[in-house]
């Protein structure tokens, strides 16, 4: 009869363990998870309480992560993050020896760490401590505390070992998720700070800059000889600065969705001509020749005109900027099925294969910021990419490598 009761209770505990394992696999919130593990540990070992101690991966110190008592909240609070020495505590011995430790009477055991009881006011009588492992690494200890009746049994030990192995994985997953969450929050915060900073800086710079521009052009007209040259130098620098501020302000274009586009049906050649007229004078001033081939007027696309011209202008400006010697820049179109590709091809400094994707990232520049020869903010291509994607188009680059020139493609769906 006693044997039957024994089997029944074992079966009940085993089916409880199966239930517990299902819950553990699906819980990613750390707090409820810890509570659940401790409740289950006390229940399957018929003990009053349970506690979880974890190893700090950085400092390799052991500390109480959670302690479960129904009656004394202050005990839980007192023990939270309470450090426990590796030498001179039961949990420490479990970690160091990497095996279960069964103590039916802590009063006669020198390993018991009395300071925890003294601090919390809780009276520990017996402990069953099991290592929690991930592969061979001990990440902490699961303890059942104060057996309700009699001594710990081999079943208590076996069941708690099963629970501890699943608890280890569940706790590790939940801690990873919580670390990922805080890293994500931090990144969002940084991103917001960056955007706030840029919008404040660009706004604050604009006003003094327009004063400088105004005075410099006035001086350039009025002054004679050398003074006029100096005024011109000031004016040119101020114009460059205005371009940088313009780029910063254009950051908002990075976030455009399809809904924000002001689409209209336009002839592709008109878009290409507008973009070319934006850069022609700079290109010629640098000794470049633009070799163009525009499509017939009836090749039309439905796009946000201003934004597409901005994207094309960015590509053309880059071709000029990254071609240090006078050369030919090609600007042409190709039809591929339902798509039209607009292509900017230069003979400039080229791009290494491993950089061809990264250059479209916000603020990414191949050259180191400290040793840069070419100006810019690293935004032109990411803006062009955002424009292409918002139109369900694509953008990509090819290059045979350093000093072999680059070709940029931007494609849009053509109208029937």
- Tell me if 156 contacts ligand ADP by CB under 6 A: no
Q: How far apart are CA 296 and CA 276, in angstroms?
A: 16
Interface residue with ligand ADP among 41, 380, 388, 395 (CB under 6 A) is 380
Spell out where 56-179 has E strands: 62-68, 83-84, 101-103, 127-134, 137-147
Q: Judged by CB under 6 A, which of 91, 319, 329, 342 binds ligand ADP?
A: 319
Contact residues for 340 (Cβ-Cβ < 8 A; gap 6+): 268, 295, 299, 301, 333, 334, 411, 412, 414
Q: Smallest distance, Å, CB 373 to ligand ADP?
A: 10
> Is residue 379 part of the contact set for ligand ADP (CB under 6 A)?
yes
- Residue 400 Cβ, how far from ligand ADP at the closest point, in Å? 12
With contacts defined by CB under 6 A, name the span among 37-45, 135-143, 205-213, 348-356 that binds ligand ADP: 348-356
The token duo for 185 is 């929050």
Kindly tell me which residue out of 21, 47, 347, 406 binds ligand ADP, with binding defined by CB under 6 A: 406
Using the contact rule CB under 6 A, the part of the chain among 89-97, 171-179, 332-340, 343-351 near ligand ADP is 343-351
Burial, 187: exposed, middle or buried (Cβ in 10 Å; 0-12, 13-18, 19+)? Answer: exposed
378 vs 413 by CB, closer to ligand ADP: 378
Piece of 20-28, 56-64, 144-152, 375-383 that binds ligand ADP (CB under 6 A) = 375-383
Cβ(390)–Cβ(257) below 8 Å: yes
With a CB cutoff of 8 Å and minimum separation 6, the contacts of 43 are 16
Interface mask toward ligand ADP for 90-129; x: CB under 6 A: ----------------------------------------
Across-strand partners of 291? 330
Query: What is the C-alpha to C-alpha distance for residues 251 and 382, in angstroms, rounded to an integer?
Result: 9
Q: In angstroms, what is the minimal distance from the CB of 284 to ligand ADP?
A: 18
Q: How far apart are the first and last CA of the chain?
A: 86
Would you count residue 130 as binding ligand ADP (CB under 6 A)? no
Neighbours of 368 (CB within 10 A): 7
Tell me if 387 contacts ligand ADP by CB under 6 A: no
250 binding ligand ADP? (CB under 6 A): no
> Residue 412, interface with ligand ADP (CB under 6 A)?
no
Number of residues that bind ligand ADP (CB under 6 A): 21
CA atoms within 13 A on the CB side of 248: 19
**Binding of ligand ADP at residue 348 (CB under 6 A)?**
yes
Q: List interacting residues with ligand ADP (CB under 6 A).
A: 314, 318-319, 322, 346, 348-349, 351, 359, 364-367, 376-382, 406
């Amino acid at each position: 009869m006693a044997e039957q009761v024994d089997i029944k209770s074992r079966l009940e505990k085993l089916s409880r363990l199966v239930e517990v394992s299902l819950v553990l696999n699906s819980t990613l919130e750390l707090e409820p998870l810890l509570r659940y593990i401790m409740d289950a540990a006390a229940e399957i070992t018929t003990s009053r309480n349970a506690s979880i101690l974890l190893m700090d991966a950085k400092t390799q110190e052991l500390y109480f992560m959670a302690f479960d008592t129904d009656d004394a909240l202050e005990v839980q609070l007192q023990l939270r993050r309470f450090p426990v020495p590796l030498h001179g505590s039961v949990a420490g011995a479990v970690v160091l020896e990497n095996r279960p430790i069964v103590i039916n009477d802590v009063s006669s055991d020198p390993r018991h760490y009395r300071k925890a009881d003294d601090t919390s006011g809780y009276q520990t009588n017996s402990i069953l401590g099991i290592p929690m492992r991930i592969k061979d690494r001990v990440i902490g200890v699961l303890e059942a505390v104060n057996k309700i009746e009699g001594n710990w049994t081999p079943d208590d030990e076996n069941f708690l070992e099963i629970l501890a192995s699943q608890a280890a994985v569940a706790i590790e997953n939940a801690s990873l998720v919580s670390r990922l969450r805080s890293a994500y929050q931090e990144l969002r915060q940084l991103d917001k700070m960056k955007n706030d900073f840029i919008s404040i800086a660009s706004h604050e710079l604009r006003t003094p800059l327009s004063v400088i521009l105004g005075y410099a052009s006035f001086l350039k007209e009025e002054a004679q000889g050398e003074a006029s040259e100096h005024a011109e130098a000031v004016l040119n620098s101020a114009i460059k600065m205005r371009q940088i501020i313009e780029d910063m302000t254009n950051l908002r274009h990075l976030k455009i969705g399809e809904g924000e586009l002001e689409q209209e049906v336009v002839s592709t050649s008109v878009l290409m001509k507008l973009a070319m007229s934006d850069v022609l004078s700079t290109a010629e001033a640098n000794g470049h020749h633009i070799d163009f081939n525009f499509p017939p007027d009836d090749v039309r696309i439905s796009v946000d005109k201003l934004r597409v011209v901005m994207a094309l202008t960015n590509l053309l400006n880059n071709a000029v900027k990254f071609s240090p010697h006078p050369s030919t820049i090609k600007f042409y179109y190709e039809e591929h099925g339902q798509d039209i590709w607009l292509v900017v091809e230069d003979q400039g400094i080229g791009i290494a294969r491993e950089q061809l994707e990264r250059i479209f990232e916000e603020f990414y520049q191949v050259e180191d910021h400290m040793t840069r020869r070419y100006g810019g903010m690293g935004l032109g291509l990411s803006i062009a990419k955002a424009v292409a994607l918002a139109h369900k188009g694509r953008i990509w680059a090819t290059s045979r490598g350093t000093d072999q020139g680059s070709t940029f493609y931007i494609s849009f769906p053509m109208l029937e």
